[in-house]
Amino acid sequence: MWKILLLVLVSVGAALWVSMNTGGFMSEDHCEDGACGVPSGNFASGRAEKVQLTEAQWREVLTPEQFAVMRDHGTERPFQNPYWDEKRVGIYVCAATGTPLFSSEDKFKSGTGWPSFTRPLAEGLVGDEVDTSYGMRRVENYCVDCGGHLGHVFEDGPEPTGLRYCMNSAALEFIPVESVEGIPAAVKAQQEVAAKRIAELQDLAGS
């Protein structure tokens, strides 16, 4: 256990130093640490996502911060992003498509400065891809509907999964829910919203 804690502390310390010395988003060239969530250079290679837009179209759809993370391989600053310390009940959805991805019930305080979860809402929502950049073997996570980079998953999380899905707030949108009991209904309603949003993006792709 102490080895995991030491790894997290070292990871956060290194990431903080990089963040303070780059003046904004960290790129894959700046991050040298497994906890930072920077994706590999073969981002979105071979993915069969539902939404496939050009770079110019994604820039129209996403904010500069969202594009930097989801399409341009960036990583937001730790402890200086909207959801790392979010404690309200609710669901976290893809910032691009609105697809429900994570629940507040699976969120935990990892000490890394990024929102962390033990698991996605369900299987098949968050894709995995092996990342071998920087001489390390990591597992990148992405939204299966749009291929947008979310973060990385590590095997140093708490029970019941032992996993830490280390995500970027810029890749997510938080939707508050009044109570834990209301989460399933919120997910169902958001799935309908996401379906319409995906259809709109597909129309944009075909224009």
User: E strand or H helix at 175, and its extent?
Assistant: strand 172-176
The model's confidence at residue 36, banded by pLDDT at 50, 70 and 90, is very low
Reported confidence tier of residue 135, pLDDT bands at 50, 70, 90? confident
The set of catalytic residues is: 166
- Closest alpha carbon to 72 in 80, 63, 81: 63
CA distance 146 to 52: 7
Strand 138-143 relative to strand 172-176: parallel, antiparallel, unpaired? unpaired
Structure token pair of residue 93: 């959805």
Residue 16 pLDDT class (50, 70, 90 cuts): very low
pLDDT score, position 207: 79
pLDDT score of 138: 83
Query: Hunting for tokens 């938080």 — which residue is that?
Result: 174
- State pLDDT tens for residues 146-189: 999 999 999 999 999 999 999 999 999 999 999 999 999 999 99
Phi-psi region of 158 (alpha: psi -120 to 50; beta: other; left: phi over 0): beta
Task: Return mean pLDDT, the chain.
Answer: 82
What's residue 4's pLDDT?
46
CATH fold, domain 2-20+27-32+42-206, is 2.170.150
The enclosing H or E element of 64 equals: helix 64-70
Closest CA to 141 of 116, 107, 177, 175: 116
Calculate mean pLDDT across residues 8-31. Answer: 41
